[in-house]
Amino acid sequence: AQSVSQHNHHVILSEAASLELGCNYSYGGTVNLFWYVQYPGQHLQLLLKYFSGDPLVKGITGFEAVFIKSKFSFNLRKPSVQWSDTAEYFCAVNSGYSTLTFGKGTMLLVSP
Amino acid sequence: DVKVTQSSRYLVKRTGEKVFLECVQDMDHENMFWYRQDPGLGLRLIYFSYDVKMKEKGDIPEGYSVSREKKERFSLILESASTNQTSMYLCASSFRVWEGARRTDTQYFGPGTRLTVL
């Protein structure tokens, strides 16, 4: 069975700091990779996704993620966070035919 | 824009009650899903459906059942609610998308129902 590991459960940053959230998965074959975000009181939204091609994927609001196949990783990055990025971030993986497997989430708190 | 709606944002029920959670999507998606979200555990799949009247168990189906009589509607049923079913319940839907021989579906989520069982 697939598993997804998110390295940090809680991250606290000051505004303008750089962000990198780690995500590793266990499946060795072809995968589809997703980052979802849940802002306080809002529903889960797709931030970005990777199916194939350029391993650097750009998403909404300045986020990007890089797929490193050899490391089974799909880390989320943002060069300069804002207070409005305070949210919970979920990495998710599937192998095409299968259902999504989610990580446990990382709560990001950005202090102004 | 994809619209996935859930019947209630907040629900309070008593132990032993039968509970229905409803989900409706307006994009003619084939696939629909029910998850529960708990702090520190992420999202866990309860049941999913890839067509009308079809259902498949997810990772934690015990204590739950589902119904899909129409393509746009997917219901989650707690036959006899228990306190350990207190949780946030999320519904999602997706198209079946093929890129060559590969599936590349993207799931879209509803706002969630926060269920409290007393």
pLDDT of res. B53 = 92
Selected for mutation to probe chain A from B43, B57, B66 (highest A CB count within 10 Å) is B43
- B42 to A96: CB separation less than 8 angstroms, yes or no: no
Q: How far is CA A92 from CA A4, A82, B117, in A?
A: 7, 24, 29
End-to-end CA distance of chain A: 41
Residue B12 in contact with residue B75, Cβ under 8 Å?
no
pLDDT of res. A96 = 65
Shortest Cα distance, chain B CAs vs residue A74, angstroms: 17
Distance CA A55, CA A48 (A): 12
Distance CA B29, CA A5 (A): 29
Nearest to A99 among B41, B48, B111 (CB): B48
pLDDT at B87 over 80: yes
- A90 to B102: CB separation less than 8 angstroms, yes or no: no
- A102 to B99: CB separation less than 8 angstroms, yes or no: no
Q: How do B10-13 and B113-117 pair as beta strands?
A: parallel
Q: How far is CA A91 from CA A38, A48, B45, B52, B56, in A?
A: 12, 10, 15, 29, 23
Tens digits of per-residue pLDDT, A87-111? Answer: 999 999 987 666 899 999 999 999 9
Look-up of token digits 């303008």: A16
Tens digits of per-residue pLDDT, A35-47? Answer: 999 999 899 999 9
pLDDT of res. B95 = 87
Task: Calculate mean pLDDT across residues A55-80.
Answer: 94
Shortest Cα distance, chain A CAs vs residue B112, angstroms: 7
Q: A96 or B42: whose pLDDT is higher?
A: B42
